[in-house]
Structure 1
Amino acid sequence: MSIVINWLAFLEVLGVALAGTLLVVGFYATGLRMLVRAGRSPVVTPAEFTDAITVISEKQAKRAAKAAAKAAKKSPLSDGAKRLALIAAFGCFALCAAAVVAGILLIVLR
């Protein structure tokens, strides 16, 4: 009994995995960048976990929210440019989601 490896199929899977990773990470990073350019930097309040290594205090969370609001005020973009950046951010997030769904469909339907 001999084992035969289909190297062409292996390279195909490798290429699709790399391309999918680049698409998802690239669109997500660009979406976050456009979101910040639109003046809507995401500030996430930390969750309290008993076994967490580092937990941000309420004071630090308020300071981060204040800094984000201050940065949004300083934006040199006009209202139209901010709106365009926000639309671009949502478009990037939609493309990121589409890449994930396409990857799942490739797995399920193949």
Structure 2
Amino acid sequence: MIIDWGSFLSVALASLVSTCVVVGLYALATRLMAAAGRAPQVDPVEFTDAITVVTPAEAAAAAKRARKAEKKNPLTPAQKRTALVGAYACFTLCCFAVLYGIYLIVPYFHQ
């Protein structure tokens, strides 16, 4: 069995670069969402047979801190809107990159 190391290296490099691009786009989109004042915040969930992760007092304190930080945001409304559009663009590019990767992997799409 002969291994084509050049092809192996090119596939390894392509997967490494594409992974970095997808993760970088997602991180940038999340950062832009936070800059636009729409930071992702998950409400606490109570489970019937599990430990509550966040108490209601902690959730209220976190919401108060988020409102206070939003008031301190130095961006103008136009800059916030631009950051939000950029975030959606990054999420869209990330989605297309993942869909293209699935297209390349699944042979059914190549027939």
Contact 1:43–1:64 (8 Å) recurs in 2: no
Secondary structure of the equivalent of 2:106?
Answer: helix
Which TM-score applies when normalising by structure 1? Answer: 0.84
Which TM-score applies when normalising by structure 2? Answer: 0.84
Q: What letter corresponds to residue 95 of structure 1 in structure 2?
A: L
Q: Which runs of 5+ in 1 are unaligned?
A: none
Q: Aligned to 1:77, which of 75, 96, 103?
A: 75
CA distance in 1 between counterparts of 2:4 and 2:62 reads: 52
Contact 1:28–1:92 (8 Å) recurs in 2: yes
User: What number of residue pairs does the alignment pair up?
Assistant: 107
Secondary structure of the equivalent of 2:101?
Answer: helix
Question: How far does the alpha carbon of each residue in 1:39-65 deviate from its partner, in whole angstroms, 9 at most, with x for none?
Answer: 11111124445566x822222122212
Contact 1:27–1:96 (8 Å) recurs in 2: yes
Larger RCO, structures 1/2 (Cα 8 Å, 6+ apart): 1
CA distance in 2 between counterparts of 1:23 and 1:43 reads: 25
How many percent of aligned residue pairs carry the same amino acid? 47
CA distance in 2 between counterparts of 1:26 and 1:13 reads: 20
Q: Which runs of 5+ in 2 are unaligned?
A: none
Match of 2:8 in 1: 10
Question: How far does the alpha carbon of each residue in 1:61-93 deviate from its partner, in whole angstroms, 9 at most, with x for none?
Answer: 222122112211211111111100100011111
CA distance in 1 between counterparts of 2:75 and 2:103 reads: 39
Q: Aligned to 2:86, which of 69, 85, 88?
A: 88
